[in-house]
Amino acid sequence: MSQSRHVPVMLRQCLDMLAPALDEPGAVVVDCTLGLGGHSEALLTRFPEARLIGLDRDKEALRLSGERLAPFGDRATLVHAVYDELPDVLARLGVPRVQGVLFDLGVSSMQLDEADRGFAYAQDAPLDMRMDQTTGISAAEVLNTYPAGDLVRILRTYGEEKQAKRIVSAIVREREKEPFTNSARLVELIRDALPQAAKRTGGNPAKRTFQALRIEVNGELAVLERAIPAAVKALSVGGRIAVLSYHSLEDRLVKQVFAAGAASTAPPGLPVVPERYQPRLKLLTRGAELPTEEEIAENRRAAPARLRGAERVREDVQ
């Protein structure tokens, strides 16, 4: 297994953010997006008293990270699960509260680098894009069966693609001749459909469409919408959560959950704010932290990353 290709993004910042919660003996940290285990390996190494629970929906990622984390023995528990299943996983393992949670959203290096997964627009591959290949519908099925209106909505909402109508018209026209199966044909179609001006900026013109399809196929935003509040709820007081996002839709969602948790819910004008209205979270970042220029130069996949963190400062009061 080539671990050299997997460079964890903003690793030092993530570890520093979680450190105050994980230095305690017996601390439990959850890596909700295990991938190839780069962040997890660093967490277990830096915090020798901590236990780790790692989640991933991709069985191949679990196998590879299992090999990587084997030296840590029973300090690492790896579970095949999507990250919005966190409450069920913790209940099964008999862990009522955790001290740290890490999310590294987006596609793992492995999924981008394995040609046959269909995530990367730079190489021809079957249009699959499922993070868990044992379940759900593929990107090809989405392209071949969704009504045009739904495809336009997906490209606009999830890909922030301004040329969505143009691209979808071409997709609908082409799929009537022959269903889509491979990524190269889709990339070529997008290139041909876009006006010259749109092709001159922003890297590969297929990037936004591929992002949109991946988010739709894996239900990423719906999962995240459930997962972040569930992770906050699982934190003990003093526990910390760190979230790495790679596009504005994810980042906005994380920001909203954190901002709501860090705000008082008291009616305006109360002279003393009762406990039940006090903020449950303290924000650990002003806005989002960005990767350094040095890191981006070494690892281009870090370029769009945004890191936000929060600390649990109070229990929910019913």
If phi > 0 it is left, if psi is from -120 to 50 it is alpha, else beta; for residue 268 that is: beta
CA distances from 242 to 39, 166, 223, 261 (A): 12, 38, 17, 14
Residue 269: strand, helix, or coil: coil
The answer to whether 83 is a known ligand-binding residue is: yes
Instruction: Look at the block and give the residue holding tokens 């593929």.
Output: 138
Annotation-wise, does 121 bind a ligand?
Answer: no
> Distances in Å between the alpha carbon of 18 and those of 85, 140, 287?
22, 39, 17
Write out the DSSP string of 239-268: EEEEEEESSHHHHHHHHHHHHHHTS--PPT
Q: Are 102 and 31 in contact (CB under 8 A)?
A: yes
Placement of tokens 């890596």 in the chain:
31
Structural contact between residues 209 and 190, judged by C-beta atoms closer than 8 angstroms: yes
The answer to the question of whether 38 is labelled as a binding residue is yes
CB 230 within 8 Å of CB 90? no
CB burial of 115-128 (b: ≥16 within 10 Å; e: otherwise) equals eebbbbbeeebbbb
Residue 309 backbone phi and psi in degrees, to 5: -140, 155
CB 98 within 8 Å of CB 90:
yes
Q: Is 104 annotated as a binding residue?
A: yes
261 known member of a binding site: no
111 appears as a binding residue in the annotation: yes
Q: Is 37 annotated as a binding residue?
A: yes
Binding-site residue positions: 37-39, 56, 83, 104, 111
Binding-site residue positions for S-adenosyl-L-methionine: 37-39, 56, 83, 104, 111
